[in-house]
Amino acid sequence: MSELKIEKVWKEYGDQIVLEDVSLTVASRAFVALVGPSGCGKSTFLRMLLGQEQPTRGTILLDGTPLPSEPCADRGVVFQRYSVFPHLTALGNVLLGKELAASRYKARLFGQARRNAIDEARTLLAEVGLAGAETKYPAQLSGGMQQRLALAQALIMRPKVLLLDEPFGALDPGIRAEIHTLMKRLWHETQMTVVMVTHDMREAFTLATRVVAFERRRDRPEEKERYGATITKDISIWPPRIAGATSIFGPDRDGPVSSLGHSRDDLAPSGNF
């Protein structure tokens, strides 16, 4: 299970109210897109779900338990800027989560445990379309491939919740469409709940089961800092999308999506860009 329950959450920085009285229940295996004007607190809300920020008031529950006050393996995250380590290979980037879980300070695995982790990381790289790129460094990968790598890095610990902070905004339209196909397939094949921040309404309605809009209900320019954003719209996609269930509308809309096969994201030359 991976149900999120947000109850009367406020976020304030001194006199500035960023979010006010936000309540939202996200069912297990849902895919929720958060939309709204720039600066309305969407990313702040996502950081609270991650554990980077704490609510000023209110509670956030994951499967009925208060959310830990710092990031942990229950929650994976992918940011807009490629959140991969430039000094590690693709395999090393994905393997790092397992290594840190086994040894927080030394980040090392040994023997059979290391072999098992490497096999799992290789399988995950293949799942996101990066088979054959295990020894490449991020600088040798295209933007789309780096974002695939960031997804694999976030998924290696099998998080209950995957948080996406505008992860596809910097990609070219063609590459973005391929990543959408990949994201839809991963959502169908795993047990995770997904919460995604996006400015792209088409992206929101293409991927999500629900689209939730944040906005300031009151907006007086001379007192803007006194009013925080809250949820003003909560739209369920119809016909409903159900993780793991085939849609009558075909795989391109809702159903489990077949493997990508050949990708537009070719490996960069062996040298750096």
In a domain, 164, yes or no: yes
Domains of the chain: total = 1
The model carries a pTM of 0.84
Residue 15: its pLDDT value, please? Answer: 86
- Between these two residues, 169 and 161, which has the higher pLDDT value? 161
In a domain, 248, yes or no: no
With 70 as the cut, is the pLDDT of residue 203 above it?
yes
In a domain, 126, yes or no: yes
In a domain, 38, yes or no: yes
In a domain, 24, yes or no: yes
Q: Which of 197, 236, 220 is nearest to 41 (CA)?
A: 197
Contacts of 78 (CB under 8 A, 6+ apart): 147, 150, 151, 154, 162, 163, 164, 165, 167
**Which domain range does residue 191 map to?**
4-236
With 60 as the cut, is the pLDDT of residue 224 above it?
no
In a domain, 122, yes or no: yes
* Number of C-beta neighbours around residue 93 at 10 A: 24
Quick one: CA torsion of 223, 54, 215, 29, rounded to 10 degrees? 180
Contact indicator for 88, 96 with CB cutoff of 8 Å: yes
In a domain, 252, yes or no: no
Q: Please write the tens of the pLDDT for every residue from 35-66.
A: 999 889 999 999 999 999 999 999 999 999 99
With bands split at pLDDT 50, 70 and 90, how would you rate the model's confidence at 266?
A: very low
C-alpha dihedral sign at 22, 197, 74, 241 = positive
Q: Please write the tens of the pLDDT for every residue from 55-102.
A: 999 999 999 999 988 888 899 999 887 789 999 999 999 999 888 887
Residue % of the chain over a pLDDT of 70: 85
SS3 state at 154: helix
CATH code of residue 78: 3.40.50.300
Distance between CA atoms of residues 124 and 120, nearest Å: 6
With 50 as the cut, is the pLDDT of residue 269 above it?
no
In a domain, 184, yes or no: yes
